[in-house]
Structure 1
Amino acid sequence: MGDRSNPEFLVVGHISKPHGIRGEVVVHPLTDHPEGAFAPGVVLLLSARDGAPDPAAPPLRVEGARAANRGWLVRFGGIRDRNDAERYRGRDLLRPLADLEPLDEGEVFYHQLLGLEVFHGGEESLGRVREVYEMQPADLLEVAGPRGVLLIPFRKEIVTSVDVEAGRMTIDPPPGLLEL
């Protein structure tokens, strides 16, 4: 059924580049709640190549942040100029799962969808969720099963129920979607 256990850390942003000369960085948020993830006082960790926290990198405490055109401009303690900021270019920012805001009723983390068995009309198994793609106007679920690989929009009009505990999802797709 796939492992949907909660990881210890989640990626909340990606540092794309330095901004200005005072040590700010441009962060592409990878969370639905960037105002909480980049609030002053929040401590974030840098990820290593394997996605785990980088043991050689110090924790970064947010000193200030503001929304910008293409993400968030974030100032971390200890990063005082552009040269310091340049060292963090291309790095992912992690936050302990225990520190995240609780999910609202009916919300799930995308990692919890991986491995769920997808049913059409509650009876026909279409396979299991293999990947979630964040797209516009709707995120897509990649489902691999007896019909091959299907891309299912993750929309409330199509996904009628998600039961993480039972390991299943039910969909009611519009005519023709499963034939694409």
Structure 2
Amino acid sequence: MKELSASLGEIVNTVGLRGDIKLLPGPDFWWEALDSGVVDVVSDNVRRRITVDHFRARGSTVVIKLAEVSTIDEAEALVGSTLEVSLDEVADEFLPDFLLPCQTMGLRVKLPDGSVLGEVVDLLLGPEQNVLVVEGNDEKYLIPDVSEIVVSVDLEGESMEIDPPRGLLDLRW
């Protein structure tokens, strides 16, 4: 199985003079990732391991105090970077009980008869449900990411099985 990193979001600003940062959460964000205490700051393909001291919600953003950042100048240098966590390194107690978008990308999509429909190439985030964009057979299919359709997911085998209702695969994007 390939190593997965979840992008928690983008550092968009600083807060205060003591080096707090403001994170705009991304699709892979979940609170327990910050509880794990260690994240990676990624900028220009350079990854730096850093410790989360504490954090709090602020509107639609998250204010985070990083242990290694103590001045506004150090925090300003991080603006534009992303925060990531390696899912292989996160303790089980902090892993989410739902699939993250980064985990669904690249999965083979199988039908109940065992045939392969294609591969998940994108995820459209919706207010009520996400929609998987599956590419295969020179077509793109939009598959709602709901338990009635997505029957099972095998992360080790990098595949998922869907049981689409009649007519769903006739709709193409």
Matched position secondary structure for 2:47: coil
Q: Does 1:157 align with 2:148?
A: yes
Decide which of 40, 45, 53 is 1:45's aligned counterpart.
Answer: 40
Q: Does 1:6 align with 2:11?
A: no
Q: Distance in 2 between matches of 1:43 and 1:167?
A: 27
Q: Which residue of 1 aligns with 2:30?
A: 33
Q: Is the 8 A contact 2:14 2:79 kept in 1?
A: yes
Deviations along 1:128-158, one digit per CA (max 9) or x if unpaired, are: 2223344332222221112601121211121
Q: Is the 8 A contact 2:30 2:96 kept in 1?
A: no
| Aligned residue pairs, count | 168
- Relative to the length of structure 2, the TM-score reads 0.76
Larger strand fraction of residues? 2
Superposed structure 1 runs of 4+ greater than 6 Å apart? none
Decide which of 77, 87, 90 is 1:87's aligned counterpart.
Answer: 77
Q: 1:60 to 1:162 in 2, by over 3 A?
A: closer
Using the aligned pairs only, state the percent identity. 27
Q: Which deviates more, 11-20 or 41-50? A: 41-50
Q: Distance in 1 between matches of 2:63 and 2:109?
A: 39
User: Could you tell me how far 1:89 is from its partner in structure 2?
Assistant: 0.9
Name the Cα RMSD after superposition. 2.8
User: Could you tell me how far 1:48 is from its partner in structure 2?
Assistant: 3.2
- Unmatched 5+ stretches in structure 2: none
Q: Which residue of 1 aligns with 2:15?
A: 19
Decide which of 111, 130, 142 is 1:120's aligned counterpart.
Answer: 111
Q: Distance in 1 between matches of 2:156 and 2:120?
A: 15
Q: Is the 8 A contact 2:6 2:102 kept in 1?
A: no
Q: Is the 8 A contact 1:27 1:72 kept in 2?
A: yes
Q: Is the 8 A contact 1:6 1:112 kept in 2?
A: no
Q: Distance in 1 between matches of 2:117 and 2:7?
A: 29
- Unmatched 5+ stretches in structure 1: none
